[in-house]
Structure 1
């Protein structure tokens, strides 16, 4: 980056005995690459856009002093032919190496948008493939700091090469292999285009920065040529598009917040699919019973409640003061808050043990699961199952979204993916039916069949093939339509509802053992903590061992 001082040169004095001369040359090149040059157009552009330089990002992300770079002098040294002085060094556009996050080893790939806008011809394509292969073999998580095309070429390179080429998609095969084995978290920190966009979505967790990052298959100039749309980067692929359609999981306000979210996410995960998540010390007693839970579900069935408050009453109080969700006083780290909003997913802890949280939000579309909610469910359940994270499943599911918009969105097709994920999951699932379980969707969420799964219900439970009110309309349609006046029709409806009210009491279901147990909501945390302790001590080690025994088969991952 920075130009060398006049006293530094590549020749130096060789004592003819040791390798000090070579080490001096190595250190000179490394220092040049690692020193920012304010006059460099690429570096200046980063700063003008309010962005951190790539090495500042590494310092902000990783534990202090833990960065250990690989390929530190990858690039093109420019030497004066007459003096032998090192005039300039054009580094590779991507940095790779080992580091630590909260003490845990990770592998990092970080784009340098200051070098030819991140295009592949600004660096050595082999670094990405090498890095992700090393991470997979070492069994450690991968963190990607994406900023630029990260592998896409530039047409200018055709003239240099003298020919065009079939895209090689540098490192993609290795990325897919890594995806099946180790956690991958991606931060989008600028324009993320082409192959980088594919890598962003081929992650287990991704986060965008508002008004700083964009994602698209092709940038505005290519789009304008192909579709005649003249769009800015933000209008084409800004956060308000991709944080709402599920292309990325989360959105934040700064690069530093993005790094914290990655720390939080990886804090819950094991280093690879053959291990189980680590247990952290917790001062939150398993016996804690929250009085608020006895009344958090309204007696009037049409009324709403705050599902996130309910979650926070059940899971551990946060023991990590640096976490992005510490302000809530809870260990709950939500994933996908801005998309598929009928479903709420995230990671938390019960007595220090990581757990996946799956539930619905009755304040969005009444909680009926729509197409995006189905996609979100499948993605989250598959991720938990892949990394041996048990799931606490809080069911309040009135069914699939209905109507013309739901049909056009192929809700039932995506619903099948959600059901497949739930039914094929092998991690333990503790299901608590807190209110509704209606229709196919209600049955799928409330009845994940596996010998390792447990299910209980709250006295607020309400279930059936159809919601009672709509079902009465269908079953007694002729009788209701024959009513002489609207007032008479309303009375018939009320009388029918009264007849069914006693039948819908969840204790009637428990009498027939069609639900295993009705519990006091205040007992939910103690029961869940007992369940997860057994899961971590007995079930998860067996699950991880079976995966290790099948290591001869090439693992895959469902995106």
Structure 2
């Protein structure tokens, strides 16, 4: 009795799953690029994908047979057993262009993710708005979606830029808490073709919206990788540090074998001279759980490292000076990067550890043109709104206003100084020249005398005596001390959940 209906259903099912057809799918495979469904299969646990809108098509009758799933695959899956919401753009169907139907699919999945506490993952690749559907005043002005692009950070949002991304794909990347981009992909407001017409000159796609632009100049992209598979694995890794929603604490993982065993090597990495540079990432690897340091925006604002990591199996956020770049001096890009990171960690209940070895802010005309004053104060404003635990570690030196930005001066719950630490308003050598006008090559004896005066009262023990440092430790004790400190500062009264005072802070600015 139902044989005809069942046969027709099976036929429709196979047609929907065929996406843009064998030829287009084979072309992608030859390019080494996954299709929309392969991306989902690589991202989520096997057999866990629960699809919404498989039989959706274009609203235009003449396009229904050519628009399986209307170019966007949406639904829910599990990553390491945890539920997530996923939208994967199918470029083989009408360039994954946005329409009223597939926008409704995305809105539905987003709404469920927010209501049920699920991370939202966007796998981006699209040509932008679908034309001619959006042409005309009635079309472009239709709808009532005042909250379509609102971020209240109820759940983490992640975006993978995996091809040419224009329109909504680029918007969702800008709104995401974490963006990973495959090299060779492009994301911009409008396509290369449209941009070229608008400015009447040829446009290089990489210059318009390539990975170097977005990892080094705009800072919108957190990580660039070589393949789709690496991008999807980065999404999995990022989400492993975060809770599913803002009202729960981050997950706890088993401690990796060998963690902390090489802590004594820290002094072998840290130079004695305050002016000699080193890569702080080598020190971080000796303190935090082995292989757990996951750096965000490594090519942007490079004098400061921002990274998620685990300490005794628990998620922490690290803000660390990196003297190998600009001597660790903080520039406007670093400020922007840190503020973004503070908002992320506070929104999702991740304690923060500041590790300072900085000579202050990088001053100069270019920095002022980039809004250095406002960037510095944005950092301080964000820091004052952080409600998760904050621990500050001064490793070697910390000077000037940046002492406060890196958690000193009452801006952390606990301040720890390594026995190597020095804290001052500025480098004593500069102070001698500025205050007294004495240069070492001109008056060496007087310079040495004044330098000694300017260097008094700056040691870790001086800070401890004034109780501006709560502890002075050997660097090898850092891991154990931080673990104990974070046990003390757990947010017990709120079940590990902060107040989220920055939940509406812009993700891109």
Closer/same/farther in 2, CA of residues 513 and 220 from structure 1, 3 Å limit: same
Aligned match of 1:35:
18
- The question of whether the paired residues in 2 share the 8 Å contact of 1:149 and 1:195 is answered with no
Alignment length, in residue pairs? 505
Asked if 1:518 corresponds to 2:472, the answer is: yes
Q: Counterpart in 2 of 1:218? A: 190
Do residues 462 (structure 1) and 435 (structure 2) align? no
Q: Aligned partners of 2:450 and 2:360: how far apart in 1?
A: 23
In the alignment, structure 1 residue 129 sits paired with structure 2 residue 77 = no
**1:346-365 Cα deviation digits (max 9, x unpaired):** 11111111111111111111
| Distance in 2 separating the partners of 1:244 and 1:28 | 48
Give the structure 1 partner of residue 253 of structure 2.
280
* Alignment of 1:315 onto 2:288: yes
Aligned with 1:529: secondary structure? helix
Distance 1:87 1:229 in 2: 37
| CA displacement at 1:30 relative to structure 2 | 1.4
1:50 aligns with 2:24: no
Secondary structure in structure 2 of the residue aligned to 1:538: coil
| Distance in 1 between residues matched to 2:134 and 2:283, nearest whole Å | 58
Q: Is the 8 A contact 2:260 2:286 kept in 1?
A: no
CA deviations on 1:196-217 (whole Å, 9 max, x unpaired) are: 2121010000011112x11111
Match of 1:341 among 302, 322, 343: 302
The offset of 1:134, in angstroms, is 0.8
**Correspondent of 1:496 among 439, 450, 457:** 450
Structure 1: where are the runs of 5+ without partners? 1-14, 81-85, 318-329
Q: Structure 2 length as normaliser, TM-score?
A: 0.91
Q: Is the partner of 2:55 in helix, strand or coil? A: coil
Distance 1:39 1:521, change over 3 A: closer
Distance between the aligned counterparts of 2:15 and 2:418, measured in 1?
65
**Deviation (angstroms), 1:470:** 0.9
**Matched residue SS, 1:399:** coil
Q: How do 1:53-452 and structure 2 match up within 5 A?
A: 53-75=35-57, 90-121=68-99, 124-149=102-127, 152-154=129-131, 156-157=132-133, 165-166=139-140, 173-177=147-151, 179-211=152-184, 213-245=185-217, 246-282=219-255, 284=257, 290-317=263-290, 330-447=291-408, 449=410
Deviation at 1:253, TM superposition (A): 0.9
Q: Which residue number in structure 1 is paired with residue 487 of structure 2?
A: 533
What is the distance in 2 between the residues matched to 1:283 and 1:58?
28
Specify the alignment match of 1:5 in structure 2: none
When structure 1 is superposed on structure 2, of 420-429 and 166-175 the one drifting more is 166-175
8 Å contact from structure 2 (residues 260, 288) kept in 1: no
Larger Rg belongs to:
1
**Is residue 315–residue 349 contact of structure 1 (8 Å, CA) maintained in 2?**
yes
Report the Cα distance in structure 2 between the residues aligned to 1:555 and 1:94, rounded to whole angstroms. 28
State the SS of the aligned residue for 2:377.
helix
Unaligned runs of 5+ in 2: none
CA distance in 2, matches of 1:471, 1:97: 61
Query: What is the aligned partner in structure 2 of residue 475 from structure 1?
Result: 435
TM-score normalised per structure 1: 0.83
Which is further off, 53-62 or 224-233?
224-233
